Structure 1
């Protein structure tokens, strides 16, 4: 009995050595993965890709890993993953073809330290042909208000049948199964959207939605959407804004962040000022100072906010705050300040004229004194008279 076991082990060892030598010597093609499957667990686009090791490599003393490639329809390109696992989860648009292929990668001493790639095992799944193309809703628009609740609305399809009855289902990674819309939005007895409470949402992951339905004539073609809801946040409008006029012609604006569950450090603001022209400024502070360009005209301000790029890729601007304009006290105060400045300039100018006049008067007096001193010491110059020389002789 022991001799038979020894013979069998020796045979396996010889077969393994011969296989390794055969691969190294003749460059044999490695077999692709076996039993490649794409499984839909019902998560509205989150699919499970699964395969098994080729039977020819089960006893080979080599390192084996796999190269998974799937076509990412969201980015319109192939995505490549290298792994030693036998399964992988990926997100797909179920309205388009699902295309997956997996290669075996064989490396190690049996291929002289290099790596040999097998041909690819490939699977292509077509979307189900259910309902006419025109029965599918056109688009889905979602807004995450104040990070407290989200509303999604859709537009009817181009060939919407009479009396359609829509259903919305959703899923994210912390859910064990898909759920239907907790509260539908209706218009004239037809479902046109869904309202989600905050506790049903999950940020920074795929939030999958499917809108399908039926009618008396035919089923409606399903429409699938994958969202990142942290990019759909819209803050509430800013309500508390204060405006203060300063004597030097400046206006100081200050406000409080809007209510809601948005962190203050994630907000940036846009300040709009209107006087002769409309000006807008972006800031992450809750204060803003502006110079009045024309004191004779009223200047008004309003503010709105959004989540900035360090907390989300994109976001929605809030509604504008109510305009803040100078009060009657400010309007009276500003001209007084202007007249004071002009009066100061006029007085300074008159003082300068007076000083200049005094300087000129003093200079003129000094000039006369100099002329008198000059007269005292000045001897007029007279031309000498010419006398004849006495004659000789």
Structure 2
């Protein structure tokens, strides 16, 4: 018993020494306390906002408040500031429909206070009344459509409404002189959606216009609640570029090439973004539909086309965000109109003949040119006659001596013809 008492006393002394050592490492000569009186709300519709009472600075050092938002998924970066508040722009990694846990503590030179955890909720209410599986899709440069399913404990006569907010900002406004605004006070400031779809009389979706482009970098907050406020609001935040759905491509050409391949080309979506294309090929001699991904370019070639086989091809598109083969198929565009190409045996034979005939014609033409090159040269570059053979020697003599070489033409000798009359004879006179 005495030995046991000694060991217990020694343990208490060791614990006391450890506490003293830890206290001096954290607080030094004075006590450093974490923030207190924390309040929570919004700084506008796109920024979470915590504010607390400033800590007493008993050590006359530069106080800093370090904060982190704890999340079940990969947590976003925290903050570090001298002001007794923390405002954070909405982040897709933060689940806004669950408890938000803020970890905050005070730092002063090399000393830190104890950690303070503050749990808060954006919107109160029974979580079983929340709508389920809320998703939104942006049909690029046209409209956004959001769909959902009723909550488990939602009343049968629930009348859902959707309000939305859009912004091109990505930073929070200054918050030093502000107080957090309760989330519920901001709901009436949103734009009400008008074009609802219903199932069994209950709104299960809504559509609103969004004719912006990708380079506008739009952020969206959508809140689905009940007009009577009997259910807990569901809060949805996303960058609309991440939910963009492109228009279906248009196949421009499908043909058999000279090397006996099926060639398909389509238009390129004018999105200023990287696009991945999905190509589906179906052949009449097989029940299997082959799928291909095209990450660059606007065409696809399928080698070794078979004779007497009908090929059916269609194309769809998706922004190259995340994995193109992910389970979320809602962001793929609709399929293009199906194009059909029937490869006949004669066409295949013609392609093979042309493939052999073209090189043969080129070789024959080359041989022909080599053989008749001389004649061709004469036709193209005719021979110039020798001036020495054309110009007379007299002309050369005139050039050499400067004498006239002109000879007057000789006169032709002309015989004068006279008419001689014979005198008539006596007999003729008589």
TM-score calculated relative to the size of structure 2: 0.60
Retained in 2: the 8 A contact 1:238–1:304? Answer: yes
Q: Matched residues in 1 for 2:260 and 2:152: separation?
A: 58
Distance 1:200 1:271, change over 3 A: closer
Shift of 1:308: 0.9
SS at match of 2:50: strand
Alignment partner, residue 316 of structure 2: 304
Structure 1 unaligned segments of length 5 or more: list them.
Answer: 1-21, 108-114, 345-393
4+ runs deviating over 6 angstroms: 22-25, 200-203, 310-315, 341-344
Q: Matched residues in 1 for 2:26 and 2:348: separation?
A: 95
Alignment partner, residue 134 of structure 2: 140
Alignment partner, residue 259 of structure 2: 248
Distance 1:201 1:159, change over 3 A: farther
Alignment partner, residue 106 of structure 2: 104
Residues 285-294 or 307-316, more deviating: 307-316
Q: Matched residues in 2 for 1:69 and 1:122: separation?
A: 10
Alignment partner, residue 298 of structure 2: 286
Q: Matched residues in 2 for 1:343 and 1:94: separation?
A: 68
SS at match of 1:257: coil
- How many matched pairs? 304
Alignment partner, residue 336 of structure 1: 349
Retained in 1: the 8 A contact 2:259–2:355? Answer: no
Higher Cα radius of gyration? 2
Q: Matched residues in 1 for 2:39 and 2:213: separation?
A: 31
Q: CA RMSD in A?
A: 3.8
Structure 2 unaligned segments of length 5 or more: list them.
Answer: 1-23, 174-185, 358-430
Shift of 1:232: 1.0
| Aligned equivalent of 2:97, options 90, 95, 98 | 95
Q: Deviations over 1:40-68 (max 9, x none)?
A: 3573x7421123432334x82x2221211
Q: Matched residues in 1 for 2:80 and 2:28: separation?
A: 26
Retained in 1: the 8 A contact 2:129–2:153? Answer: yes
| Aligned equivalent of 2:336, options 318, 321, 325 | 321
Retained in 1: the 8 A contact 2:308–2:345? Answer: no
Retained in 2: the 8 A contact 1:102–1:121? Answer: yes
Q: Matched residues in 1 for 2:27 and 2:317: separation?
A: 68
1:150 aligns with 2:153: no
Q: Matched residues in 2 for 1:342 and 1:98: separation?
A: 70
Shift of 1:166: 1.1
Shift of 1:144: 0.9
Alignment partner, residue 81 of structure 2: 83
TM-score calculated relative to the size of structure 1: 0.65
Q: Matched residues in 1 for 2:279 and 2:136: separation?
A: 26
